[in-house]
Chains A and B, each alone.
Chain A
Amino acid sequence: MDFITFIQQLINGISLGSMYALIAIGYTMVYGVLRLINFAHADIMMVAAFAAFFAIDSLEVSFVLATIIAILVSVVTGILTDRVAYKPLRHSPRISLLITAIGVSFFLENIVNVTFGGTPKSFNAPEFFDTIIELSGATLTPTVIIVPVVTVLLLSILLFILYRTKYGMAIRALAFDIKTVSLMGIDSNRIIMIVFIIGSALAAVGGIFWAISYPILTPYMGVMIGLKAFAAAVLGGIGSVSGAVLGGFILGFTEVAVVALYPELGAYKDAIAFVFLIIVLVLKPTGIMGINFEKSRF
């Protein structure tokens, strides 16, 4: 493979990885504070994509407004999910919470299916995103450049929030020891809600980017993406935001690289995330960034 193609694939990989990263952040943050694998998270991404689709196609608003609507819809969905389905089970056995999350996930998928019908929908992003840019022989679209840039921007904002603001500190404290934090007068439910807001908003952005990059939408699109994003979060180190981003980039890049180098393995590209998951579990369960949640249970 020549250098230009390599650079092109590298950029594609980074773009794909950014989308995984945006979604992985939500998984890792919710797991950090609630020790819950939020099965419904990727479906929130899907809801955002469909909301944007509906806004553009039926409401016929501008793309920018559609994006805002999508983010709002997914944030509301995320908050509702937590309040209605997860909060009542805060003190229940973890398995109950996991099962409920699966139920919510399935519910979201099928509500969208019933509302929009089962045929795949075509997402009409503004033509700007499809314009071809020629750069020293490489063929790029604005999408693959905008996605990583915006992702890095959002990540920086998130890290600023986490490490430089009161709320961020509360979130990190909650991830560390939820019982003690509640005793210190911090409203843990409010902090958890903020985590869901952040996670859902980022997932929404990821969903919009995904819709632009791969404009076929189905109600079940979140399932595969969610699995991969979660694997990315585990790879990077579950509980670590930087880890989620790192894992996302590694996964995205690996997928693109494998398909580029071994086209005959193309059908198995979805299995790469799974392979990473197993490898991490066998070699280093705490992931690359290695945050260890094992506190004394004795």
Chain B
Amino acid sequence: MILEIKDITKSFGGVVAINDTTFHINKNEIYGLIGPNGAGKTTMFNIITGNYKPNSGKVILDGKDITNKKNYNIVKYGIARTFQNIRLFSSMSVKENILIGLQNAANYTYIESIFRLPRFFSQEKKIAKRADEIIDFLNLTEYKDELATSLSYGIQRKVEIARAIATNPKLLLLDEPAAGMNPNETHDLAQLLFQIRDKFDITILLIEHDMKFVNHLCDRVMVLDYGKTIFEGHIEDAIKDEEVIKAYLGDFKHA
């Protein structure tokens, strides 16, 4: 198990967003978090990444309890995420965005950077090389010096994923990565995620609405409805499950 979510409850004021939810993800799985809009999927993401503190329950990553860790520290423990509405750094190129992901891999101090001591150059060279590797692997080479936010939606998505991979995570959280894509792009994205999973030896947790994509990609899924887990398992079984059908009515005709 790489990620264990145990008895998590989260409420905002009087509204219970996540209701006593438990699930786990195995290493190298591609795991789907699905459910109707407003079911609590993004809230769950935010709890995992430390943006929200749960009212109760635990988040355990690779044996470590990370429930109350600060959000910027989560990356050090090995979780990176992308956002539903693609949040790239607007003043930077593709390569610079990815270099940000390599912050922690560059081992030099502030003073070393101000006075350009040797370690600055060796570490910068190291991360520049690593950034190029990731860029080449994701076929972003021709865009690497372009302003990230000036590129097409699909490319921006890839850049955001590249930036997340750059942090060398154990677990990659993708929030609706296929949103706004046509079937061809979606197919390519699925292929890409398989390759990423294999090459970087990571586990992927994604929120998605596109059932065909989920079916193609995910080993297992968890269906959330009104903050409660109503199903966990393989997607073929999910489709047949009564509760799921009730919650979802209609989306499964594509699967």
Interface residues of A (CB under 8 A from B): 296, 298
Contacts and interface: CB of A to CB of B under 8 A. Distances in A.
A298 B42 CA distance: 9
Contacts of A296: 46
Contacts of B49: 298
Nearest to B49: A298
**Chain A binding surface SS class:** loop
Interface string B214-236: 00000000000000000000000
Contacts of A298: 42, 46, 49, 51, 83
6 contacts: A296-B46, A298-B42, A298-B46, A298-B49, A298-B51, A298-B83
Nearest to B175: A298
A296 B47 CA distance: 12
A195 to B, nearest CB: 26
Those 4 A-B pairs whose CB atoms lie nearest each other, nearest first: A298-B51, A298-B46, A296-B46, A298-B42
A296 to B, nearest CB: 8
A2 B114 CA distance: 62
Interface residues of B, number: 5
A298 B50 CA distance: 11
Interface in B39-70: 42, 46, 49, 51
A15 B51 CA distance: 45
Contacts of B46: 296, 298
A298 B175 CA distance: 11
B174 to A, nearest CB: 14
Contacts of B83: 298
A79 B46 CA distance: 41
Nearest to A297: B51
A50 B83 CA distance: 52
A235 B18 CA distance: 35
Nearest to A296: B46
Interface in B9-56: 42, 46, 49, 51
A125 B238 CA distance: 80
B157 to A, nearest CB: 18
A298 B17 CA distance: 15
Nearest to A295: B12
A296 B84 CA distance: 14
A198 B46 CA distance: 40
Interface string B81-125: 001000000000000000000000000000000000000000000
A296 B10 CA distance: 14
Nearest to B87: A298
Contacts of B42: 298
B80 to A, nearest CB: 14
A298 B87 CA distance: 10
B73 to A, nearest CB: 16
A10 to B, nearest CB: 39
A259 B49 CA distance: 51
B19 to A, nearest CB: 18
A102 B167 CA distance: 40
Contacts of B51: 298
A298 B82 CA distance: 11
B220 to A, nearest CB: 25
A296 B42 CA distance: 11
B200 to A, nearest CB: 24
A296 B49 CA distance: 14
Nearest to B45: A298
B2 to A, nearest CB: 22
A84 to B, nearest CB: 28
Interface in B224-254: none
Nearest to B84: A298
A298 B49 CA distance: 11
B46 to A, nearest CB: 5
A296 B15 CA distance: 14
A296 B51 CA distance: 9
A91 to B, nearest CB: 14
A289 B131 CA distance: 48
A298 B46 CA distance: 7
A210 to B, nearest CB: 41
Nearest to B51: A298
A298 B48 CA distance: 13
A296 B85 CA distance: 14
A298 B44 CA distance: 12
A190 B125 CA distance: 55
A200 B225 CA distance: 49
Interface string B118-140: 00000000000000000000000
B127 to A, nearest CB: 27
Nearest to B81: A298
B84 to A, nearest CB: 9
A267 B51 CA distance: 45
